[in-house]
Amino acid sequence: MSWSSNPHSDRPGTVRRTIVPTADGAAVEVIDQTRLPHQLVMVRLQTLEQAAAAIQDMVVRGAPLIGVTAAYAMWLGLRTGGTDDVAIQGMRARLLATRPTAVNLRWALDQVIAAIMPLAPDQRAAAARRRADALVAEDVAICAAIGKHGLPILRAAFHAAGEDRPVQVLTHCNAGFLAAIEWGTALAPIYRARDEGIPVHVWVDETRPRNQGGALTAWEMAQAGIPHTVIADNAGGHLMQRGKVDLCLVGSDRTTARGDVCNKIGTYLKALAARAHGVPFYVGLPGPTIDFDVGDGLAEIPIEERQGAEVRRARGRLVAATGSDEAGLATVELLPPSTPVFNPAFDVTPAALVTALITERGVCAATREALAALYPDRAGRGR
């Protein structure tokens, strides 16, 4: 199986989206992101519970993809479980509990529920499926627009650097197509830059403990032929200090009404280093990650705490095959099981450290006023 970023490619064995409804109309298939970069494998999800487990165990991850998967999960739940109001609230609660920080999850569930509640119970499953399909199309359009709006930033950085070397971008975690459906959020401008012939080199933070940078972003960059280098999470400050980073570009799992950005743990440290060294710090985000009900991100966003085993262990391909599973992948213990660890999955970067937000509606300052001006249809309802 191989990846194709060509949306018109239907070659057998080619994957071009992270989630695809199956031809038999009974399930969706998703890329198993726990097996990348070593294997590109699709797994079938045909019940709400399978989809919920896939979100929780990070077979699928990334704010937009979590939301879309949850939308299809509602469809699967309505197909195979009850369709009455009580059953629907139960499904919502089960899915909401999977990952508490990325607000797209709640947003997508609310979209589906708003579409199905006015309908007779026997029409709800089909309507949920239609809404989930629509969310896929919306996400693709949103991410494409983020790329379009972010492109001038990379073009300007290329000019500012003298046009004789690639723009040096540092990114954290994975905010590429694997976090969405196509394009991605923060990485969308980089794909656009590639298409425009603007040379970019990406410093990819490894992003411990789950290595979304090393395992996913680097894989994406390799598929797209974009020059990149994986660095240990601790290397970013050193690179910025030596003038090796022109700008930082990261995603967001929840952006508050005043522009605070909650993203993968470690993002905040990069923003601090960027501020100290005068490196612009940009955040690419789709509108659905803006939570206009939240103002102070530090006080109000629930930070997911994941299993300590993610810190104690690492997973990869064994150099010698002994002890590995059928794919040659193995989990190794870095620390004794008794070692106390703490594993917060996200942190909050205050708006004051953010140079600008790149959204599907344009680029704006990370302020309450600027966000309200871009999203007048949504901002009025929050604080």
Q: Tell me which residues touch ligand MRU (CB under 6 A).
A: 61-64, 102, 173, 175, 179, 185, 212, 251-253, 263-264, 285, 289, 345
Rg (CA), the chain: 20
Let me know: does 283 contact 259? Beta carbons within 8 Å: no
Q: Residues 127, 285, 158, CA angle at the centre, nearest 5°?
A: 140
Alpha carbon distance 213, 208 (integer Å): 8
Identify which of residues 66 and 245 has a Cβ nearer to ligand MRU in the complex: 66
Identify which of residues 168 and 212 has a Cβ nearer to ligand MRU in the complex: 212
Q: How far is the CB of 82 from ligand MRU (least distance, A)?
A: 29
Q: How far is the CB of 279 from ligand MRU (least distance, A)?
A: 18
Identify which of residues 178 and 279 has a Cβ nearer to ligand MRU in the complex: 178
Using CB positions, name the residue nearest to ligand MRU.
251
Let me know: does 17 contact 3? Beta carbons within 8 Å: no
Q: How far is the CB of 130 from ligand MRU (least distance, A)?
A: 24
Q: How far is the CB of 181 from ligand MRU (least distance, A)?
A: 11
The catalytic position among 253, 260, 291, 347 is 253
Burial of 212 by CB count in 10 Å (0-12 exposed, 13-18 middle, 19+ buried)? buried
Alpha carbon distance 319, 303 (integer Å): 36
Alpha carbon distance 59, 355 (integer Å): 32
Alpha carbon distance 348, 335 (integer Å): 27
Alpha carbon distance 151, 144 (integer Å): 11
Q: How far is the CB of 49 from ligand MRU (least distance, A)?
A: 20
365: left (phi over 0), alpha (psi -120 to 50) or beta: beta
Helices (H), 81-120: 85-96, 104-116
DSSP, res 62: S
Identify which of residues 124 and 210 has a Cβ nearer to ligand MRU in the complex: 210
Helices (H), 161-214: 188-196
Name the strand (E) or helix (H) holding 264: strand 261-264
Identify which of residues 128 and 202 has a Cβ nearer to ligand MRU in the complex: 202
Q: Which two tokens stand for residue 99?
A: 């990952």
Identify which of residues 251 and 297 has a Cβ nearer to ligand MRU in the complex: 251
Q: How many residues does the chain have?
A: 383
Q: How far is the CB of 184 from ligand MRU (least distance, A)?
A: 7
253 is catalytic: yes
User: Known catalytic residues?
Assistant: 253
